[in-house]
A and B are shown apart, each in its own frame.
Chain A
């Protein structure tokens, strides 16, 4: 490593670093796919990719919301618990149909987001502790709501969301694509998106500039919780059962990893939506590659840890350079 960096002239090295910071995650996906093309038997089939895309949906949807929160220099640890709450609520209202049940689950998520957002924006609690409280309490609430037993979900409408599709594309993947587009438009094309990034870049300056900082933060945490509950609905639909005890467990870590690997700095002021998508896909492909090559789960976790560190090491100093 040192030999390489010595031979490169300084500007070239800086350019390489900038390139890696911007496109590293896409490059990594391409490299990984090429590796699989040559070395992993039966990887390049339509079925494999369909499975990968279906599996990545919950993490991806949660990560979209996480990217928004991280853009405000916050973090949301409660997303997994919000998914569990959504899973617990669905069987209670599925009698009224799939759509009402999903909407009630999402509304409950929004309420949690409002509580998180209030703690952060109105009281001024640090985001990590504010959302830690619901991470601790949320699954307990979900289990209390659900009555601590596994309930199978048989509503055909909901099951279709998890298991069917149109023209070979599963509905859940289509839903994820729609959400990605929505969030991308929100960040790039709307006033709210610009304000969100401004708050994350410098909250004090945003306040002085007269931005409605409190409202922006509230809405951001609500958006993250809504996306998490959508992920909970999709996860429940895919399983065909409401499993609040395990659904979304530790997903906050995967989502944060996807966002950070995708190039959104933890220090806020920037949201990279496509990078987040790529980050989630990269993590998915890594675990798929390791599984397909019969690498035990243990080493797959270690590999993920190393990749996070490398990604963050490359992005280090990014905000300082800006």
Chain B
């Protein structure tokens, strides 16, 4: 690392660097494609329209959560609270649905946005470590969920038909949660690539001191991503509740780990500054396809699924770390 050539890079080096960068950005998508092809050849029940749309629908909630998580990680932060916020979103969606569709969506969005606001303020303005702030969020918000559901024993049902239709209905075979996830991904990508706010997110994650020197509103950017993450997790939770007709207080445990894993597998650097939402989408779908393929085998237990996901995560980060080392040369 120390004896990096100071002279002009050769074309070969440039090519290698570009290849490494491509693998980092699109590696997850390539592996996903390979896995889908192999899965289709190995299991006749895999590549059916019914099964694939099922995989997509199941992924849509994690996709929405992962959009927010990508933004947070791009700034070099982390949000461990999303699993608990997801559950709170569902419970509040169910309570709010007594006031119809607007209540069922606005109540969770308002409260979960507020939780993101508090966490963002503690990270951005009080200068506390994101890991600890959102760890407290993970515990405290789950406490709120339990407090709102009589210690977790109550499961509020969704009473509004329009909200249930939003969770379970759809157009052309695609359910609304999936379509909303697609919109969130598109909007997020656009925001990241084409807006000043998105560029500021990348700049803050790349180098906070450099971003400060450039006069970027660093605190506001960091604050914003936690609000966004809270909103995404709350929306996903409300949609999941609509999908299952009730706000179950125990959902979302460990969801933060899946979201972080998906973002990292998708090529976003945990240190911040580099990554994209397309990678995150590939990461989420990869985790879902792995799960689906293991279900296809049938005889394998759910333990195998977690082992495969864990090993996969380890392999991906090792490759990523080695690749980003090549790039630094």
Residue numbers of A with Cβ under 8 A of B are: 75, 119, 123-126, 128-130, 132-141, 143-144, 148, 253, 256-257, 260, 266-267, 296-306, 308-309, 312-313, 316-317
What are the residues of chain A within 8 A of B19 when measuring CB–CB? none
Whether B140 pairs with A256 at a CB distance below 8 angstroms is no
- Interface residue from A128, A141, A302 paired with B307 (Cβ < 8 Å): A141
Most chain B C-beta atoms within 10 Å of own C-beta, residue among A128, A305, A312, A313: A305
B131 at the interface (CB under 8 A from A): yes
29 A-B interface contacts by CB (under 8 A): A75-B131, A123-B318, A123-B322, A124-B321, A129-B264, A129-B313, A130-B314, A130-B317, A136-B261, A137-B306, A137-B307, A137-B311, A137-B314, A140-B304, A140-B305, A140-B307, A148-B303, A253-B138, A253-B139, A296-B146, A299-B143, A301-B142, A305-B139, A306-B140, A308-B136, A309-B132, A312-B128, A313-B128, A316-B128
Whether A317 pairs with B318 at a CB distance below 8 angstroms is no
Most chain A C-beta atoms within 10 Å of own C-beta, residue among B78, B122, B314: B314
CB distance from A93 to the nearest CB of B (A): 20
Inter-chain CA distance A143–B305, complex, in Å, is 12
Whether A296 pairs with B147 at a CB distance below 8 angstroms is yes
What are the residues of chain B within 8 A of A132 when measuring CB–CB? 257, 260-261, 313
Contacting A at CB under 8 A, from B242-264, are 257, 260-261, 264
CB distance from B247 to the nearest CB of A (A): 15
- Interface residue from A119, A135, A138, A256 paired with B257 (Cβ < 8 Å): A135
Whether B325 pairs with A309 at a CB distance below 8 angstroms is no
B135 at the interface (CB under 8 A from A): yes
Q: Report how many residues on chain B are interfacial, defined by Cβ distance under 8 Å.
A: 47
- Interface residue from B126, B144, B146, B257 paired with A297 (Cβ < 8 Å): B146
What are the residues of chain B within 8 A of A305 when measuring CB–CB? 136-137, 139-141, 143
Whether B313 pairs with A133 at a CB distance below 8 angstroms is yes
The prevalent SS among residues of B at the interface is: helix
Report B176-192 CB contacts with A as 1/0, cut-off 8 Å.
00000000000000000
Which 8 pairs of residues, A with B, have the shortest CB-CB distance? A137-B310, A305-B140, A301-B143, A298-B146, A140-B306, A136-B310, A302-B143, A140-B303
CB distance from A316 to the nearest CB of B (A): 6
What are the residues of chain B within 8 A of A119 when measuring CB–CB? 314, 317-318
What are the residues of chain B within 8 A of A123 when measuring CB–CB? 318, 321-322
Whether A302 pairs with B144 at a CB distance below 8 angstroms is yes
Whether A301 pairs with B310 at a CB distance below 8 angstroms is no
Whether A260 pairs with B132 at a CB distance below 8 angstroms is yes
Whether A302 pairs with B140 at a CB distance below 8 angstroms is yes
What are the residues of chain A within 8 A of B146 when measuring CB–CB? 296-298, 301
